[in-house]
Amino acid sequence: MVTQVQRESASGPVGLTPAASGPMTNNASFKAFRRFNDVATQAYTGLRSRLSERGLVHFSGDGLPDRLARELCLRRAFPIKELFESFEFFERVRRRLRRPQVADLCCGHGLTGMLFAVFEPRVELVTLLDRRRPASHTVVLDAVCAVAPWAAEKIRYLEIPMSRAAEYLPPGCAIVAVHACGVRTDRCIDLALSLQSPVALMPCCYAQTANPVPRCLRRSLGSALATDVHRTYRLDAAGYEVDWTAVPRAITEMNRVVVGLPSKP
């Protein structure tokens, strides 16, 4: 099997970023909120300050994404950059992970998983999973239900360690994880392989993750890139087709998205 390792940018796939740029990949255009392809507005998308009424000016459209963004602004749900991380990640993986069940691991407030319940009619159940449910989850869920009431019955939150996730998820359940820190991304891969599930990951916090990687690759590529290359080969060896894409770098420097799809029998 040939592993497809590529980048997505405004002009299409491009090559690997030099190791000096660490976990970053080349840039990508905005898909969920295309108006932010105007560079004059992009600084807003990476802010760590909390959503607020001041952000309403950016989401004045009539479509469902804008309506949901406005609700999240009004409720001051979480940091601004997390809105864009979830939406832009979702836009890049939604068509590749169309399964009746989706699990959002190390999910925090859970917006990424909820987007599947809102926008994908085929999705019947979204499992949000983390060790602790943050207070922001209720705020986000209320916002989602205000604009997409049909999503409420599709969403459940499990407060359990990832080591128990396989007890609650069926084989083939699509798995996503946005910034599952460090080795937690590798545990997500473990689970995906055990369930033969499609998986989409946006890794972060690479400390200790490169330990299994040959030292020469760590030196030449840097720990972040070497780690994701190692993860890609691991998925490929298990019979997965693997692709790399990215969310816009204006949102986060840790913008690489790794997508693995099990081969059809």
What are the tens digits of pLDDT across the range 27-82?
899 999 999 999 999 999 999 999 999 999 999 999 999 999 999 999 999 999 99
Instruction: Output DSSP code: residue 12.
Output: S
Q: What is the pLDDT of residue 12?
A: 37
On the question of pLDDT at 251 being above 80, the answer is yes
Residue 87: burial class (beta carbons within 10 Å; 0-12, 13-18, 19+): buried
On the question of pLDDT at 25 being above 80, the answer is no
Q: Which amino acid is at 74?
A: L
Give the other-Cβ count within 10 Å of 51's Cβ: 25
Q: How many residues does the chain have?
A: 265
Q: Could you read off the pLDDT of 190-199 as tens digits, one per residue?
A: 999 999 999 9
pTM passes above 0.85: yes
Q: What is the pLDDT of residue 10?
A: 35
Domains of the chain: 19-262 (3.40.50.150)
Q: What is the pLDDT of residue 156?
A: 98
Mean pLDDT of the chain: 91
Q: What are the Cα distances from residue 201, in Å, to 41, 86, 158, 190? A: 26, 12, 20, 12
Cβ-contact 112, 86 below 8 angstroms: yes
On the question of pLDDT at 143 being above 50, the answer is yes
Give the closest residue to 176 by CA, choosing from 75, 87, 249, 252. 87
Give the closest residue to 5 by CA, choosing from 26, 31, 22. 26
Report the share of the chain in percent with pLDDT over 70. 90
Q: What is the pLDDT of residue 207?
A: 81
Q: What is the pLDDT of residue 211?
A: 84
Q: Quick check: helix, strand or coil at residue 216?
A: helix
Q: Could you read off the pLDDT of 152-177 as tens digits, one per residue?
A: 999 999 999 999 999 999 999 999 99
On the question of pLDDT at 19 being above 50, the answer is no
Confidence tier at 142 by pLDDT (50, 70, 90): very high
On the question of pLDDT at 21 being above 60, the answer is no
| Neighbouring-strand partners of residue 155 | 126
Q: What is the pLDDT of residue 17?
A: 41
| Whole-angstrom distance, CA of residue 144 vs CA of residue 115 | 9
